[in-house]
Chain A
């Protein structure tokens, strides 16, 4: 009797399969080349999965969701980049860059400049970042990363390497990319800040003062602009002005003002200061 029931069940199953057709088999070569299919994996495993986890990317399960995407389609660049997020923020650079380099290899227009950004801002690898941003400029001329042109980051890299002429040339390109040569056009305050610091490092104090004042005209509380302007007045032996700008920097930091860059919580931007440096300078003003 049991055998009869089994045969009957299998026959019904066979009928059902023949009606509905065979189950569609996953094919890497076809589906993973399809953008829509790849995006659907991100929706399923990231938007509806990893991003719903408590503690977000610091949840130990975060990587497993991205591994699911990668195991289905190893060519989804964003899966590698997302998997690297906790590693770059938490100091595991070997792991982070292995993944981010894979993302850049799979989707250069999207991730080569991101790689340069990580090297410039996170791991202070200025030589490496210059290579990546020059590559990014060839792929996307006029491109931007994290709200700034590629030239902005190149300027920072050259500034930190002590190559002030190259830094200035790149900050000029960055500024031109924003105002297209119109001197009345809006410019990001941090472009002006870094140009001011570059001029100051190059001992062009008057020019540095002009850029930092332009910067403060846009964002008068910016602690770094006040601090470096005070430094110029220190060099010019104008102690009253030095004290004045240091006090503004102090008040601004206590009031919660900062460089307003998206990654400030994770990492200090080059030349970023804290209350410690301002107080220290205030304590040693030479009258």
Chain B
């Protein structure tokens, strides 16, 4: 009897651990489960994901969206409207004012890579942390954007460029998008 209880407990632990791992790694997770995910802190940097598979190291990429004229092909106002709707559909309310910035790589097929760095400041540009859930929802919105310009690079150079998108938040509401 004792052995079977232990066996059941072990099974339960394994099951719950596998379940939580799948939530942590799937970037297409719908917004209602994102609150279980954690941002990854590496020294003084914060990431949503540190997955990297290219032979070129991320810190060897110096080409930014403005070097290759690759802002997202919608106006800031259109993006703000879309992101606000996305946020509204969660039915959640948030607090805090400032900026949440995602910095990420776009590859030669126009896909956003998983490794994304996160910066957060308050309205006075001092370090600040919004509710993790808000960060994840905005990140999920970012993952719905698919019209990035593909990267072009000469042979021997990293086939990526770095793009940046910032969400300006005022009292929990999205008020602007940069660029």
Binding site for B on A (CB under 8 A): 54-55, 58-60, 89-94, 96-98, 122-125, 128, 265-268, 270-277
Contacts and interface: CB of A to CB of B under 8 A. Distances in A.
Given A55-B62, A92-B101, 15 more contacts: A89-B64, A90-B64, A90-B103, A90-B162, A90-B164, A91-B166, A92-B119, A93-B121, A94-B126, A265-B66, A268-B178, A270-B76, A274-B73, A274-B78, A277-B75
B64 A274 contact: no
B73 A58 contact: no
Contacts of B62: 54-55, 58-59
A275 B149 CA distance: 14
Given A94-B119, A94-B125, A267-B178, A276 B99 contact: no
Interface string B57-94: 00100111011010101111110000000000000000
B166 A98 contact: no
Nearest to A58: B62
B179 interface: yes
B75 A273 contact: yes
B171 interface: no
B66 A266 contact: yes
B83 to A, nearest CB: 14
Contact of B71 (A55, A97, A268): A268
Contact of A123 (B63, B75, B162, B168): B168
A92 B126 CA distance: 11
B101 A93 contact: yes
Nearest to A56: B62
Interface in B124-149: 125-127
Given A274-B74, A276-B73, A124 B119 contact: no
Nearest to A268: B76
B179 A93 contact: no
Contact of A91 (B74, B103, B123, B175): B103
B48 interface: no
Contacts of A128: 123
